[in-house]
Amino acid sequence: MGGRSSFLRVALVTLLLGFYFVSCCVGFVEAGYSNATKRKRKRVPVRHQLSLDFYADTCPHVDQLVATVTARRFRDSPASGAATIRLFFHDCFVEGCDASVLIAPTTGGKVVVERDVEDNKNLAPEAFETVEMAKALVESKCPGLVTCADILAMAARDFVHLAGGPNYGVKKGRKDSRVSMAGKVRD
């Protein structure tokens, strides 16, 4: 049993480090794409930049609140770690890290959302549950201030660290998407 447990831990750490690497690359690629786009057309001025202390005045303990949930989930449901990192990965590849993958389809709605795309249909429910639990805790302390996109990014960071990976700062200030359209998901 000890050998299997050790193998699973190594496999999880390897998977999490891979997702960490990809999430770093996504930011790099998005920055390059953004710079290339600026040369082609004028963009709407940005109101703010992402920063490590974005919620310092409005919700200073947001990192600790999210960490409370992720630590409990990692202990009680270890699969939620990899599932949340995978969810973050899928969210960031469509229109950036804006939590659009979290938007659920409406009953009887005609719009097909990102969750409905074949590649996203098998995203684990543990990931969505983790974000919902973290969002509920954060909302109870800082109502209406912290975005789901930032909570998802912080939760992914926490799970990387809990699995033995590096602990890194997450720049915050992302805006949540108001729409989710399956047509924006690229094959």
Sign, CA dihedral 78-79-81-84, equals negative
Beta carbons of 123 and 83 less than 8 angstroms apart: yes
Token digits for 26? 């996504």
Check whether 100 is labelled as a binding-site residue: yes
| Measured CA distances, 132 to 99, 128, 129 (Å) | 12, 6, 5
Q: Which residues are catalytic?
A: 90
User: Tokens 């939620």 correspond to what residue?
Assistant: 80
SS3 content of the chain, % helix, strand, coil (to 5): 60, 0, 40
Check whether 98 is labelled as a binding-site residue: yes
Check whether 96 is labelled as a binding-site residue: yes
The single-letter DSSP state of residue 58 is T
| Measured CA distances, 66 to 38, 62, 83, 154 (Å) | 34, 6, 16, 7
Token digits for 95? 């229109």
Residue numbers in the known binding site are 91, 94, 96, 98, 100, 114
**Known binding-site positions for Ca(2+):** 91, 94, 96, 98, 100, 114
